[in-house]
Amino acid sequence: MVTKRKTSSKSKKSTKKTLLEVQNLSTHFSTRAGLIKAVNDVSFTLDAGEVLAIVGESGCGKSVSALSIMGLIPNPPGKIVNGKILFEGNDLVKAPPGKLQGIRGEQISMIFQEPMTSLNPVMTIGSQISESLILHKNLSKKEAWNRAGELLLQVGIPDALEKMNDYPHQMSGGQRQRVMIAIAMSCDPKLLIADEATTALDVTVQAQILELLMKVTQESKTALIIITHNLGIVARYADRVNVMYAGKIIETGTAMDVYKKPGHPYTQGLLGSVPNLLNTGSKRLTTIEGEIPDLSNLPKGCSFAPRCPSPTEEGKKGNIEMKLIEVSKGHWVDQCGMKCGQNN
């Protein structure tokens, strides 16, 4: 079984290198209902070989952040209206389409939630993996086919060489997701983004896929962004975590800090809704009341105030600006949420 990667403080100092830096990213969508601020002034960094989890409810901006990094925002109606996405120092927002296409797939890969919508139903599995290798690695058809077979073996597909001639509908959901991992890792990317890659799978297969992701990224020293609504997997697999709500990061820090000392009431609510198998007491699971706000008509001030279990008077009136403050080294919490969290 693969466990969470362990890195000594000494090795971190010697190998730490910023791979990705997102600066003040804002991605909006123009709709009949108004301007949807899906991602609103988001900033974070990712080091080479690091595992970052981005968590939050559906609609909080996790997937849009990932699609922005990949340059896959449909325009129209979507558009990156502000910010920079620096990958090894190069701004992907300003990159011409040809250069971005070369980076996408070869240096940055993404695994989506439902492989059946990503895989071509009329192409064999072997052909789809080979296609990526021929495009990005300039391999011959024979070389690409042989490498595709090796990749299927690497991701744990039984009878891999026979499965090369299968079509996506002939495989199980877990096998299809393993194929997606093989395609994503085929060009040895420096960054892999897994967007809710296990949500559609049963619990046992979810664990297998997560362990596989950790295994292949550790072996290749690939940085990994895990996008999920489940904070339960964060402590085991992630080095750091960004908690998003209504298009903003409202808490960020090491996985251990966020998991053990959550400062924002939203983070506390997410953790309170996850079963803890180590807890032998009778503590009941909690829920976060209400719904995420309308992103075309966000409340003034703190966007979480309408759902906050213990809002301050300033928060209720919308008089506090949403702004991250450092509560301990490397652990940042939105200032409004921090004040409300202290009331719990």
Q: What pLDDT was estimated at residue 6? A: 46
Beta strands in the chain (DSSP E): 18-31, 34-47, 51-55, 78-87, 90-91, 108-111, 191-195, 223-228, 240-245, 248-254, 324-328, 331-334
**Pair 195, 336 in one domain:** no
In a domain, 8, yes or no: no
pLDDT, one tens digit per residue, over 129-144 is 999 899 888 899 999 9
On the question of a cis peptide bond just before residue 262, with omega within 30 degrees of 0, the verdict is: no
Q: How many residues does the chain have?
A: 344
**Pair 202, 335 in one domain:** no
In a domain, 69, yes or no: yes
**Pair 236, 264 in one domain:** no
Euclidean distance between CA atoms 167 and 181, whole angstroms: 16
**Pair 239, 254 in one domain:** no
186 pLDDT higher than 70: yes
11 pLDDT higher than 50: no
225 pLDDT higher than 70: yes
Least confident of 28-32, 33-37, 318-322, 330-334: 318-322
Report the CATH number at residue 171: 3.40.50.300
**Pair 230, 302 in one domain:** no
Cβ proximity of 227 and 206 under 8 Å: no
Please give the full DSSP string across 113-175, using - where no structure is assigned: S-GGGTS-TTS-HHHHHHHHHHHHH---HHHHHHHHHHHHHHTT-TTHHHHTT--GGGS-HHH
Range(s) of the domain holding residue 302: 249-276+285-341
**Pair 175, 299 in one domain:** no
**Pair 116, 191 in one domain:** yes
Q: What is the mean pLDDT of residues 74-91?
A: 95
Other beta carbons less than 10 A from residue 247's beta carbon: 27
pLDDT, one tens digit per residue, over 100-131 is 988 988 899 999 888 888 899 999 999 999 99
**Pair 77, 127 in one domain:** yes
193 pLDDT higher than 90: yes
Number of domains into which the chain is organized: 2
Cβ proximity of 183 and 128 under 8 Å: yes
**Pair 102, 130 in one domain:** yes
> pLDDT tier at 10 (50, 70, 90 boundaries)?
very low
Instruction: Supply angle C-alpha 79, 81, 83, rounded to 5.
Output: 120
Q: Which residue has the tokens 């439902």?
A: 114
Give every CB contact of residue 91 below 8 A, 6+ residues apart in sequence. Answer: 84, 85
Q: β-pairing, 108-111 with 191-195?
A: parallel
pLDDT, one tens digit per residue, over 263-322 is 999 999 998 887 765 555 556 778 888 888 899 988 888 889 888 888 877 777 777 788
